[in-house]
Amino acid sequence: MKIFIYKSLIAAFIFFILFQITIGATLKEIKKQISFFSSEENIIGIKDKIREEIISTNKKDRYLDENDAKILREFINKIKSELK
């Protein structure tokens, strides 16, 4: 009985450690990432980044690359013609 209890306890202990360093650690990392993405600091950081990008784009002569502008123009014109 005693040997059985010792073996069971040791097995449970080893299982707990193995679980924690494999699946537990992965779950922890996922939770950490979710917590980080939904954190106020990250949202503020993203807003700041968007703001910085808009400011730097405003300083440029053109917003869009010439090829991109051409593709977009054709696309909008096509949509317009279909909506007529």
Q: Which is nearer to another protein, 39 or 57 (CB)?
A: 39
Distance, in Å, from the CA atom of 20 to the CA atom of 27, rounded to the nearest integer, reads: 9
Contact 29, 22 (CB under 8 A): no
Could you tell me the smallest distance in angstroms from the CB atom of residue 56 to another protein?
19
The 10-49 contact track toward another protein, x by CB under 8 A, reads: x--x--xx--xx--xx--x--xx--xx--x-xx-xx----
Q: Counting contacts by CB under 8 A, is residue 5 touching another protein?
A: yes
Q: Which is nearer to another protein, 9 or 72 (CB)?
A: 9
List helix spans (H) across the chain. 2-19, 25-37, 40-58, 66-83
29 to each of 21, 39, 42, 60, 84, how far by Cα in Å?
11, 15, 17, 40, 52
Residues that bind another protein (CB under 8 A): 1-3, 5-6, 10, 13, 16-17, 20-21, 24-25, 28, 31-32, 35-36, 39, 41-42, 44-45
